[in-house]
Amino acid sequence: MRRYLRVCVWICCALALAFAPAGAPAHTGREKALELFAYDASRPLDVREKRIRKEDGVEEYDLSFASPMGGRVTAYLLVPSGGKGPYAGILLMHGATGSRRSLLPGARILCRAGAVCLLPDAPFCGDRAEMGKRLVDINKPEQMRAGVIQSVVELRRAVDLLVARPDVDRKRIAFIGSSLGGSIGGILAGVEKRVAAYALLVASGSWHEAALKSRHPLARLARLGVSKQTIDKAATLLADVDPIHYVGHAAPSALLFQNGRRDTTVPAECAQAYQDAGSQPKVCKWYPSGHELDIDAFMDRAQWLHEKIGIGPVPRPAHNGGLNH
């Protein structure tokens, strides 16, 4: 029973850290915030890539590049084949339990519509997994804070990679982040101005409050094993990397928020607080779905990307898997 409760606690922590709402202490200042996510952009990207697939108008590459924090970032790169660039560029980030593979089906559709798509693994996720380490772990808030900072810095480096490609139009770059990726994306939006449009899916802006408000059954059970002292410590240590303090500085970049009305992982009040904090211009959309958004959400996002970065028309997919989460 104790082991089962520990597993439930971990699940709750992951949910809390990936999808929590506003409510953390005040931000510590714009200049200090920018310092948290600074890096040496002059260092070589040291890109290594190998083509692994060419099919249906898409060339796929297994790619990695040097992380400013040490080690290498694994990613997939999707490039339209047989067309003429420069293309739009789209950076996609998965959720807490996902990896660079999670959003491949949707990325392939967007690539065929005229976008170079880059899908990196977050720290400790996918092919970067390390025994005993997780990006989201409320019991190790110092490690979590460092992981959030590393994630944002590596996404900025991913923007460097897209901008450096001659087949990408640097004025037409977008970001899509789902769940954890949507929260990390809110921070990125506040510090990275080379991205013209940010789509933030089923996400919210504080790293601790969902532990107290999530209605997911396992989260409710896990709350029995997490002390208020643990939650308070995490809230304090993670306050200056809460996405809600950054998403309000996204302008002039455009924001798209997409959430499900039946999402029990991210309660509506949490999602609403994140939306309210976002700067203008922004669009906020709700769907009759849970944490996994529906095909309509994907189609709305594709149309929004058409308007913001000029990708082509997208056919309606037959299946929902890998489109939103």
pLDDT digits (tens, 9 = 90+) for 68-107: 999 999 999 999 998 888 999 999 999 988 999 999 999 9
Q: In what order do the strands lie in the sheet with 87-93?
A: 48-55, 58-66, 72-80, 115-120, 87-93, 168-178, 197-201, 254-260, 282-287
- Is residue 59's pLDDT more than 70? yes
- Is residue 8's pLDDT more than 50? no
Q: Which of 115, 61, 126, 138 minimizes the C-alpha distance to 93? A: 126
SS (H, E, C) 248-284: HHCCCCEEEEEEECCCCCCCHHHHHHHHHHCCCCEEE
pLDDT score, position 219: 63
Rounded to an integer, the average pLDDT of 53-63 is 96
> What domains sit in the chain, N to C, each tagged with a CATH number?
26-206+243-309 (3.40.50.1820)
pLDDT score, position 191: 96
Confidence of residue 131 (pLDDT cuts 50, 70, 90): confident
Q: Enter the pTM of the model.
A: 0.90
Rounded to an integer, the average pLDDT of 103-125 is 97
> Between these two residues, 238 and 12, which has the higher pLDDT value?
238
- Is residue 7's pLDDT more than 90? no
pLDDT digits (tens, 9 = 90+) for 166-191: 999 999 999 999 999 999 999 999 99
pLDDT score, position 75: 98
Residue type, 16: A
pLDDT score, position 18: 40
Look over the chain and give the mean of its residue pLDDT values, rounded to a whole number: 88
Looking at 115-119, 220-224, 274-278, 302-306, which range is the least confident one?
220-224
